[in-house]
Amino acid sequence: MADAHTFDEHFGGEEAGQGDPATARAVVLPAPLEATVSYGGGTKHGPRALLRASGELEFVEEETGEPYWQPGEVATLPALELAAGDGERAVETIAAAARPVLARDAFLLTLGGEHTISTGPFRAAAERHPGLGIVGIDAHLDLRDSYGGSKWSHACVLRRIVEEFDPQVLWVGARSLAAEERDLLATRPKIDVAWAHAIAEERDDSWIERVIAPLPEKVYLTIDVDGLDPSVMPGTGTPEPGGLDYRTVLRFVRTLAEKRTIVAADVVELAPIEGQQVSEFTSAKLAAKLVAAVLGKK
Ligand SMILES: [Mn+2]
C-alpha cells in the first residue's frame, strides 16, 4: 500500500468535481492520524479508503433524484502530515488547517484518523463560533482523563473538548463506558447521552427532535463510525455490538442538519479491512449525504 500521506484522491470522484479550496462551499480535510490505537489498528488508512470509495458513489441521491452537490462545490485538501507520537501537536496542526476554511464560513469535513483528531477542528470551529455545541455519534463516551498513558488517546477526545470549552454535548448511540466515565457524567449536566439501548426501544423518530432540543443553534458533528452496528461497519478499531443502523444514523444526521447549523463535522475511526469495501463505502456514502444535507440547507 502506498504511503497514507501521498494520495491525491478527492471526495466524490469525477462527477463531483474537485473544487477550489479557497472558494468551495465545503472543504474536506484528510487527517490520517493513528497514534494511540488501543485494539485494532489501521485508522491512518481511513481517509484514503473513504476518498477512494467516494469516487465509486453514483452521484444522484436516490431520495431526491438530484446530485449530491453541483460540480466543484466541494474541495478536498491534501492530506495532513501528522506525527504519530504527539497527539497534542497533531490536534493543533489540524486546527491550523481548519481555521482558514471556517474563517470564510465554508463547511469543513475532516476525515480521520483516530478520534483524537476531533479536538483540532472543534477548537477552530469553537473559536469562530463561541458557544458551539458538539454532537457525537459513537459507541464510546471518550470521557477518560487518560488512556494507555496518553491524554490524547482516542478514548479521551470528549474529555479534552469538555475541559477546554465546556460545550453543550449530545452523544448518540453510546453503549460502552468505564466507571470513571459514569461518575463524570453524574457531575456534568451539559452532557446528554442518547444510549443505543434506549434508541432501540423507540417506536418512531420523535426521539431525534427530543434529544437535540437542548443544543444551541450552531453545532459540530463528530461521527465515529463505530456508532454504527459492526454488522454494517466492521472496519473500525473498537467495534461494539448493539449499534445504530445506517438509516437511523442518516435520519438523525438529516434532522440535525435541518434543525441546527452544522458548521463543521468529521468522520473518524474508519479502519479499512483489506478485501472488504463495505466499511469505507458506507462511510463515504454517509459523509456525502451529510455534505448534501448541510449544503442543501444553505
Ligand atoms: Mn468510538
CATH number, domain at 99? 3.40.800.10
| 3: confidence class by pLDDT, cuts 50, 70, 90 | very low
Going from the Cα of 227 to the center of ligand 1, the distance in angstroms, rounded, reads 7
Going from the Cα of 287 to the center of ligand 1, the distance in angstroms, rounded, reads 17
pLDDT above 70 for 2: no
Q: How far apart are CA 159 and CA 165, in angstroms?
A: 10
End-to-end CA distance of the chain: 39
Residue 38 lies in a domain: yes
* 247-277 tens-digit pLDDT: 999 999 999 999 999 999 999 999 999 999 9
Residue 7 lies in a domain: no
Residue with cell 481548519: 98
pTM greater than the 0.75 cutoff = yes
Going from the Cα of 224 to the center of ligand 1, the distance in angstroms, rounded, reads 5
pLDDT at 36: 72
Going from the Cα of 202 to the center of ligand 1, the distance in angstroms, rounded, reads 22
- CB of 97 within 8 A of CB of 28? no
- CB of 74 within 8 A of CB of 11? yes
Angle made by CA atoms 110, 255, 233, in degrees to the nearest 5 = 55
Q: Containing domain of residue 219, as a range?
A: 13-292
| 4: confidence class by pLDDT, cuts 50, 70, 90 | very low
Going from the Cα of 155 to the center of ligand 1, the distance in angstroms, rounded, reads 7
Residue 245 lies in a domain: yes
What whole-number percentage of the chain has pLDDT above 70?
96
Which residues lie across from 176 on neighbouring strands?
140
| 182: confidence class by pLDDT, cuts 50, 70, 90 | very high
pLDDT at 129: 98
Task: Give the three-class secondary structure for 276.
Answer: strand
Mean pLDDT score, 23-33: 97
Cβ-based neighbours of 156, under 8 Å, separated by 6 or more: 116, 142, 143, 144, 145, 146, 147, 150
Residue 66 lies in a domain: yes
> Could you give the angle at which helices 278-297 and 46-54 cross, rounded to 10 degrees?
70
Going from the Cα of 79 to the center of ligand 1, the distance in angstroms, rounded, reads 22
Going from the Cα of 156 to the center of ligand 1, the distance in angstroms, rounded, reads 10
Mean pLDDT score, 131-140: 98
User: Which grid cell is 139?
Assistant: 459507541
* 139-175 tens-digit pLDDT: 999 999 999 999 999 999 999 999 999 999 999 999 9
- CB of 278 within 8 A of CB of 232? yes
Residue 3 lies in a domain: no
Q: How far apart are CA 81 and CA 173, in angstroms?
A: 31
Strands (E), the chain: 26-31, 74-76, 107-112, 133-137, 169-174, 191-195, 218-224, 261-268
Residue 6 lies in a domain: no
pLDDT at 15: 85
Residue 1 lies in a domain: no
Residue 48 lies in a domain: yes
pLDDT at 8: 63
Q: How far apart are CA 135 and CA 167, in angstroms?
A: 10
Please give the tally of structural domains in the chain. 1
Q: How many residues does the chain have?
A: 298
pLDDT at 1: 38
Question: 85 or 211, which is more confident?
Answer: 211
Judge residue 103's burial from the number of C-beta atoms within 10 Å of its C-beta, 0-12 exposed, 13-18 middle, 19 or more buried: exposed
Going from the Cα of 157 to the center of ligand 1, the distance in angstroms, rounded, reads 10
Tell me the one-letter amino acid at 110. T
Going from the Cα of 16 to the center of ligand 1, the distance in angstroms, rounded, reads 30
Going from the Cα of 96 to the center of ligand 1, the distance in angstroms, rounded, reads 25
Going from the Cα of 139 to the center of ligand 1, the distance in angstroms, rounded, reads 5
* 59-112 tens-digit pLDDT: 999 999 999 999 999 999 999 999 887 889 999 999 999 999 999 999 999 999
